[in-house]
Chains A and B, each alone.
Chain A
């Protein structure tokens, strides 16, 4: 066994009460670290996943039309009317789609033709968002297949896929017919081939998927696509990717982050406050370790003098106390990991939504444990630095003489 380990372990065992105190403090600190991180990251992951369950990472649209007054020497325009919004296709969307598909970081892209419409069956009529899609590529952008509650996610001929709420509102199921018509009066009858639940009531009530070609006809944009929906591999890179797409295509591209600005601000504030709490906890742990080891150095001054007189080097004395700090950090991280995980799991079990389902899973990953252990050991070692240096500087003759 290494000499420094032998002495450090013995000193920790010898100072039972002090060791228990400082170990207790470190354990609580690590437990809080693990609990908070698991909770916040689980919550955030769930929130982002829920948000993105019915949303592409980047939405590419035709640029907005801007009205400009014609220059005229004898007239001054005091008012410029905004161009009325109507469904417009992205020009040459096939080339745009191919170009976006080659961007590094893009996983999949799909064209959609979307516009307002009414869905009706018998006397029941609902205002809906008509979404003409290519089911195969669409499923690669939004993971809708596992969220089908009945039927299948496929569109052949005049078929439509609707949400659970709309299915209930209209009283239809798989195999039933639904009439979809635009406000301009173009309409068609579709057979429901599937019903989805994307975890968002609004989406489940309003989205009606039909084949791209059918939507193009109903929305009067023959061969057109109003949006290109893009999935990227790194979701928090979506904003940068949107900028890249705009630069490359000249089209308007919005990331999910842009479209959910408030959610993102909320997540960031949550992360910041969680960080602040964790930094304060680590600081408290560091101060605890430093003060207990500081007292230990004072109590052991004479012993340190004896160790030096009997051939222990200054470096070895310093390493003994640094090791004590690191060992406390290491042991505290193991105990803290057990308690923190227990707290997180218990919280996840106890905290349930109105339906009795767990609110969100906690994120207990190996990375979290390794990170917490690294922080605890590093904190222990750094906190021990001052007491260790003080111990190393003790003059043996003085402490032997005066204690």
Chain B
């Protein structure tokens, strides 16, 4: 487990139903998928293909109706609520489309929150690590700025720093550039790619933007809750 090239995430026969009774419908129809350590993959698909739902299942934010999610070899279906939270906090990082920083907190505090939540307290070493991560995303000078005062690109970079706080094995990014202009989107995407190369963090990026997807190692396409293609990116 965890050695180079091994699966860090595997989905086996994942199904997800929504609704009750006659209104019940199956949105994910048996998804098999795996991510290898150090991969940088893109998940594409038209709107309404349930990409975000699949991402939430991978991120243990939601539970599948059927099938198994194995994270670093462990079947997450056997974990209780606290176990899932711990596993999520220590193994996974998230970057959302709308950065989702906590508005009442500074950039630095937003980055240290995952560490503090895991330890149950705030320690000086966490502030140091948060500062180093902000430095890594080029925002050391904005450490004390409130999240609400940051530009879209800056906020998303803080969100990336936050996703790396617990040195996760995988970062799941849901349209991380979807809300940014082209230049900011390029910068953010380059940052993700750099982190992937430097720290061997596995990335799965949901995106609509084929131009950005072409910069990944692998493109997975989801249509109507099914993976219709999963190919290495020939362009690279």
Could you list which residues of chain A lie within 8 angstroms of chain B, going by C-beta atoms? 1-4, 6, 10-11, 13-14, 302-303, 306-316, 395-397, 400-401
Contacts and interface: CB of A to CB of B under 8 A. Distances in A.
Given A3-B119, A3-B121, A400-B96, A315 B82 contact: yes
A311 B120 CA distance: 11
Interface stretch (B4-12, B24-32, B109-117, B150-158): B109-117
Contacts of B81: 313-314
B94 interface: yes
What are the 6 A-B residue pairs with the smallest beta carbon separation, nearest first?
A311-B89, A14-B104, A397-B62, A397-B61, A397-B56, A312-B117
B226 interface: no
B162 interface: yes
A401 B55 CA distance: 12
A323 to B, nearest CB: 13
Contacts of A310: 89, 94, 113-114, 117, 162, 165
A307 B62 contact: no
A6 B89 CA distance: 19
Contact of B102 (A1, A306, A308, A395): A306
15 contacts: A2-B120, A2-B121, A3-B117, A308-B61, A310-B113, A310-B114, A311-B86, A311-B114, A311-B118, A312-B117, A313-B86, A314-B81, A314-B82, A395-B61, A401-B56
A314 B85 contact: yes
Contacts of B105: 10
Given A308-B61, A309-B88, 15 more contacts: A1-B121, A3-B116, A3-B121, A4-B120, A302-B100, A306-B102, A307-B113, A312-B89, A313-B85, A316-B117, A395-B62, A396-B61, A397-B53, A397-B56, A400-B100
A226 B173 CA distance: 96
A401 B97 CA distance: 10
A313 B122 contact: no
A119 B81 CA distance: 89
B154 to A, nearest CB: 17
Nearest to B105: A10
Interface string B115-150: 011111110000000000000000000000000000
Contacts of B90: 311
Nearest to A306: B100
B125 to A, nearest CB: 14
Contact of B122 (A3, A315, A396): A3
A52 B54 CA distance: 80
B116 to A, nearest CB: 4
B76 interface: no
B102 A303 contact: yes
B233 interface: no
A31 to B, nearest CB: 30
B49 interface: no
Select the residue from B61, B100, B101, B105 with max chain A CB neighbours within 10 A. B61
A250 to B, nearest CB: 69
Contacts of B117: 3, 307, 310-313, 316
B82 A313 contact: yes
Contacts of A302: 100
Contacts of B56: 397, 400-401
A306 B155 CA distance: 14
A336 to B, nearest CB: 27
Select the residue from A3, A310, A316 with max chain B CB neighbours within 10 A. A310
Nearest to B56: A397
B59 interface: yes
Contact of B116 (A6, A397, A401): A6
Contacts of A11: 104
A10 B104 contact: yes
B201 interface: no
A301 to B, nearest CB: 12
Contacts of B102: 303, 306-307
Contacts of A311: 85-86, 88-90, 114, 117-118, 166
Contacts of B121: 1-3
Interface in B31-58: 52-53, 56
Contacts of B104: 10-11, 13-14
A302 B118 CA distance: 20
A160 B98 CA distance: 95
A313 B83 CA distance: 9
Contacts of B52: 401
Nearest to A395: B62
B98 to A, nearest CB: 9
Contacts of B162: 310
Given A10-B104, A302-B100, A312-B117, A400 B85 contact: no
A395 B61 CA distance: 8
Nearest to B91: A311
Contacts of A14: 104
B122 A1 contact: yes
Contacts of A2: 120-122
